[in-house]
Amino acid sequence: MNDNATEIENGFHISKLFQAQYGLIWVTLIMMAVFAIASPTFRTPGNLLEILRQSGLLAIMVIGLTWIAATGEIDVSYGDIAAFTGVMTAVFLKAGLSWPVTFVLAVGLGSIFGVFSGILVVYFKFPALIATLAVGSGLAKSIARWVSGGAVIHISNPPGVVYQIVYGTFYGIPILFIITLAIYLICREFQDKTTLGQHLYALGENRQATQEAGINERRILMSLYVFSALLASIAGVLLTAMVASGNPNIGGSFFLDGLTVVFLGAMIIKAGQPNVIGTLIGVIILSILGNGLTLMGEYFFVGNIVKGILLVFGVVVVMLARKRNQVEGKFVVA
């Protein structure tokens, strides 16, 4: 009785997804074409590699967000945690600590914010938005400003090894990108081949079934929030190495980008669910966009509009995919 109606519905939704995926590829190609024509600098191989290099930073920052979004929660603190860690890095370096020690300390401190967010969300049942908003925008950013006196802390150029990591190339490919790729491949293993990945997606799709299966959702969520802060912190350290300064206010610039790439990535692979490889591809697309826009000079702010549209587009597709999975034949009243 029900089958025909839902089949058509399913068919419609599935084809929409395909269109979205291909549409995205078309959009990207057109975008690249436009930029290539508009600016000769864009066409150079050096520029294209630069795009890859810059992708690395954002990509590392939002792996945690990808998985948190997959469970149906949210995390808006990654940008500010990265900024905080960046500031602490600068502070420690100026105090004379070595890079390795600084790295460990700064990342450790940054991760504590993740513990805090996790506790608020999991044990005190805060709405995820409120908890991460308070922890990121409220606590992390303010402490970062406090430590730095509100200003940017400049440091001397990083030593050889560190410089190589952020600016060096290996047979022409930026080392930072290679590192990013490595991290992503490792995470992909976690996502597809361990209980963490399996259960977090289960949690996102059907919380009740996951609870009934006896899966410890608290452990998963807590781990994800800490993990997210950890990676955002690493990104923060790399950022400071890249620009030789710690900036407590930089968090805001990553906010929109982070969410956009996660939802774009959800469109691409795994049919509507956030996933790491999708996010990586999303970052590359966004970097192309960003790179091209910088070359467009004064109209840089169009980027916000384009990203906003992409984000909404991504949300629509994810929602359609989720609807497809709903119980067929059930009529939703509200």
In terms of residues, how long is the chain? 334
User: Of residues 163-222, which lie at the interface with other proteins (CB under 8 A)?
Assistant: 190, 193-196, 198-199, 201-202, 205-206, 208-210, 212-215, 219
By CB under 8 A, residue 151 contacts other proteins: no
Q: Which is nearer to other proteins, 144 or 162 (CB)?
A: 144
Contact between 16 and 320 (Cβ < 8 Å): yes
Q: Is 27 in the site for other proteins (CB under 8 A)?
A: no
The answer to whether the CB of 241 falls within 8 A of the CB of 166 is yes
Q: Does 22 bind other proteins (CB under 8 A)?
A: no
Least distance (Å) between residue 83 CB and other proteins: 12
The C-alpha torsion from 216 through 217 and 219 to 221, rounded to 10°, is 170
Task: Give the Cβ contact number of residue 64 at 10 Å.
Answer: 26
One of 11, 108, 150, 159 touching other proteins (CB under 8 A)? 150
Residue 317 binds other proteins, judged by CB under 8 A: no
Helices (H), 119-172: 128-132, 141-148, 160-167
- Give the nearer residue to other proteins in terms of CB position, either 77 or 102: 77
Work out how close the CB of 328 gets to other proteins at its nearest, in angstroms, rounded to a whole number. Answer: 8
| Positions in 263-302 near other proteins (CB under 8 A) | 263, 271, 273, 298-299, 301-302
Q: Applying CB under 8 A, which of residues 55, 82, 141, 237 lies at the interface with other proteins?
A: 141
Q: C-alpha angle with apex 284: 278 to 285, nearest 5 degrees?
A: 90
Contact set for other proteins, span 70-99 (CB under 8 A):
74
| Part of the chain binding other proteins (CB under 8 A), chosen from 102-110, 119-127, 169-177, 277-285 | 119-127
107 touches 85 (CB < 8 A)? yes
Q: Report the nearest approach of other proteins to the CB of residue 298 (Å).
A: 5
User: Which of the residues 121 through 140 are near other proteins (CB under 8 A)?
Assistant: 124-127, 129-131, 133-135, 137-139
- CB of 76: closest distance to other proteins in angstroms? 8
When the beta carbons of 101 and 151 are compared against other proteins, the nearer one is 151
Q: Closer to other proteins at the Cβ: 99 or 255? A: 255
- For position 259 contacting other proteins by CB under 8 A, the verdict is yes
Q: How far apart are CA 286 and CA 97, in angstroms?
A: 35
Minimum CB–partner distance for residue 114 and other proteins (Å): 15
For residue 198, the minimal CB distance to other proteins (Å) is: 6
- Give least dist CB 75 to other proteins, A: 11
The helix/strand/coil state of 134 is helix
Query: Which residues, 6 or more positions from 258, have their beta carbon under 8 angstroms from its beta carbon?
Result: 58, 61, 62, 65, 78, 79
Residues contacting residue 274 through CB under 8 Å, at least 6 positions apart: 66, 67, 69, 70, 262, 263, 265, 266, 318
Interatomic CA distance for residues 248 and 140, integer angstroms: 9
Work out the number of other CB atoms within 10 angstroms of the CB of residue 35.
20
Binding residues with other proteins: total (CB under 8 A): 80
CB 246 within 8 A of CB 87: yes
